[in-house]
């Protein structure tokens, strides 16, 4: 495989440049090597975000960040892939963006200092808080239909949801596991839960 075949994206635009204002003149001139779907090739970041905002789904995603969890980047990347309305980071403001693979440029991310602040926000928006964790009394996600409008909440790697977060949840669901480990990481769990929402409420993605 040649170096050219290994390159991601497309090279400079050939022919007359489009007049559509969504296109970025710099990308048209130099090529677009970003990890975006083909319909957004050469579009400016602002134009992509504006288009995504017109189609975002009715679920939000929240993750606790008390110990600089490395899974947060993956959660953000999954939220972008499944077109979550927003990602909410509860606790520490700083988080490791490496796992997001630059998708945080296209995904709305909001910070809340405390669980109480986050819960007040969700209540003000009329959003039920749905916890995903392997806890006694949780209902199996596999047999549930998630609310069309909700916020999916995930805890830290290891301890899972904090006690205040568990107490704040309107619903608690677990993900079935069949091996020897007690839990799966929050990044994987978030992708499974978001896909469960998509299967219940979303149509096929745009071509």
CATH of the domain at 190: 3.40.1280.10
CA distance 70 to 29: 36
| pLDDT tens digits, 43-102 | 999 999 999 999 999 999 999 998 866 889 999 999 999 999 999 999 998 898 888 999
Residues 107 and 187 in one domain: yes
- C-alpha count within 13 angstroms, C-beta hemisphere, residue 74: 14
101 in any annotated domain: yes
| pLDDT tens digits, 122-163 | 999 999 999 999 988 899 999 999 999 999 999 987 788 999
Residues 71 and 173 in one domain: yes
Residues 147 and 124 in one domain: yes
Residues 69 and 48 in one domain: no
Residues 92 and 42 in one domain: no
SS3 state of residue 119 = helix
Residues 11 and 64 in one domain: no
Range of the domain at 156: 59-201
Residues 80 and 160 in one domain: yes
Residues 36 and 89 in one domain: no
- For residue 69, what pLDDT is reported? 67
Contacts of 78 (CB under 8 A, 6+ apart): 61, 187, 190, 191, 194
Q: Take residue 67 and report the two structure tokens written for it.
A: 């110990």
* Burial readout 173-195 (b: 16 or more C-beta within 10 A, e: otherwise): bbbeeeeeeebebbbebbbebbe
103 in any annotated domain: yes
CA distance 108 to 42: 21
């Amino acid at each position: 495989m040649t170096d050219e075949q290994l390159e991601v994206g497309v090279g400079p635009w050939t022919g007359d440049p489009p007049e559509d204002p969504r296109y970025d003149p710099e990308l048209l001139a130099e090529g677009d090597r970003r990890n975006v779907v083909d319909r957004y090739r050469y579009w400016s970041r602002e134009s992509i975000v504006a288009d995504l905002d017109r189609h975002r789904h009715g679920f939000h995603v929240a993750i606790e960040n008390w110990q600089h969890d490395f899974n947060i980047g993956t959660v953000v990347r999954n939220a972008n892939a499944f077109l979550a309305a927003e990602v909410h980071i509860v606790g520490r403001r700083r988080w490791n963006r490496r796992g997001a693979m630059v998708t945080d440029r296209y995904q709305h991310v909001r910070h809340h200092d405390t669980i109480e602040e986050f819960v007040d926000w969700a209540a003000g928006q009329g959003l039920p808080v749905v916890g995903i964790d392997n806890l006694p009394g949780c209902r199996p996600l596999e047999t549930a239909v998630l609310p069309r409008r909700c916020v999916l909440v995930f805890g830290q790697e290891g301890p899972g949801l904090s006690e205040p977060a568990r107490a704040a949840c309107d619903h608690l669901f677990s993900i079935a596991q069949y091996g020897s480990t007690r839990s799966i990481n929050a990044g994987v769990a978030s992708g499974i839960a978001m896909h469960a929402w998509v299967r219940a409420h979303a149509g096929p993605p745009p071509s």
